[in-house]
Amino acid sequence: QIDMKTRLIGSNLIYYPSIDSTNNEAKKEAAAGAPEGTVIIADEQTGGRGRLGRQWVSPKGTGIWMSIILKPELEPAEAAKITQLTAASVATALRNVTGCEAGIKWPNDIIINKKKVCGILTEMSAELNSVNHIIVGMGINVNVDPEEFPEEVRSIATSVKESVGHEIYRKEIVLEILRIFEDLYLDFIRRKSIDKSVGICRKYSVTLGNQVRIISKDKVVYAEAVDLTEDGELLIRNEAGEIEKIISGEVSVRGV
């Protein structure tokens, strides 16, 4: 049982010992009318999903596999702002609770010691010009042991435990994430600006100042990541020296 300190995010919290995917479950709940701020959390996922159709390994008892249902009045193109807000929340919470130096790899990975500790999967249901709901899912490797990662990601994945050297109580991290998320989300709704989240993403960015390889539609572009816009989009300097705005797409960062 969790003693909530928030009034919107997590005030309706649904826990599963095991489920296919908290994002799938959140989608069903949202369609069935679950209120904004509903949180779905599982101790294990049997069909955890990552971005780009990838699998997300979610072993029992060692991670935070969690999704939040949001119903903001947004245009579909703005959904990526929620990803930035989530990255800011997770990085800050991990730092506050464990003292680790969590960084943010734009747009949706949290990094410790150059390895991925958390991925974010934002999905939405939208009509032509407005969002019905957004599901933001986060998978955080908290007490996962390195050998539990699939062979092919072992060299690029890490856990909080691996970096701080001891197990961390997952509940403490969950509560801190929800607290910070609520703060940033309510501020975003009230002021219609995510500058607060973007400020955090900028401060903890491991992308800015580095060379990035941007892969979109079979095209690979090399560039320097220069800054984030106040909406959380990435500004790069391309090979011709011009500044370009990157809104989404798969971005992989070299040199981090």
Q: What are residue 131's phi and psi, to 5 degrees?
A: -80, 130
Residues 87 and 91: their CA atoms lie apart, in Å, by: 6
Tokens 């919107």 belong to 8
Pick from 139, 194, 208, 251 the residue near ligand BTN by CB under 6 A: 139
Backbone torsions φ then ψ of 184, nearest 5 degrees: -70, -40
Q: Is 115 in the site for ligand BTN (CB under 6 A)?
A: no
Nearest residue to 71 (alpha-carbon basis) of 12, 116, 141, 142: 12
Give the interface segment with ligand BTN, choosing from 52-60, 167-175, 193-201, 226-234 (CB under 6 A).
52-60
Is the CB of 25 or the CB of 182 nearer to ligand BTN? 25
Shortest reach from residue 66's CB to ligand BTN, in Å: 6
Binding status of residue 107 toward ligand BTN by CB under 6 A: no
Out of 72, 103, 137, 232, name the contact with ligand BTN by CB under 6 A: 137
Smallest distance, Å, CB 241 to ligand BTN? 32
Residues at the binding site are: 21-23, 45, 49-51, 116
Alpha helices in the chain (DSSP H): 22-31, 80-98, 160-164, 170-191, 195-203
The answer to the question of residue 19 lying near ligand BTN (CB under 6 A) is no
Q: How far is the CB of 149 from ligand BTN (least distance, A)?
A: 13
CB atoms within 10 A of CB 64: 24
Residue 48 engages ligand BTN in binding (rule: CB under 6 A): yes
**Per-residue three-class SS string for 181-221:** HHHHHHHHHHHCCCHHHHHHHHHCECCCCCEEEEEECCEEE
Does position 51 interact with ligand BTN (CB under 6 A)? The reply is yes
CB-nearer residue toward ligand BTN: 7 or 28: 28
The Cα 117–Cα 144 span in angstroms is 10
Q: Measure the CA–CA gap between 80 and 174, rounded to whole angstroms.
A: 22
97 counts as binding ligand BTN under rule CB under 6 A:
no
Smaller CB distance to ligand BTN: residue 44 or 231? Answer: 44
- What does the binding site for ligand BTN look like in residue numbers (CB under 6 A)? 21-23, 45, 48-51, 54, 56, 58, 65-67, 109, 119-121, 137-139
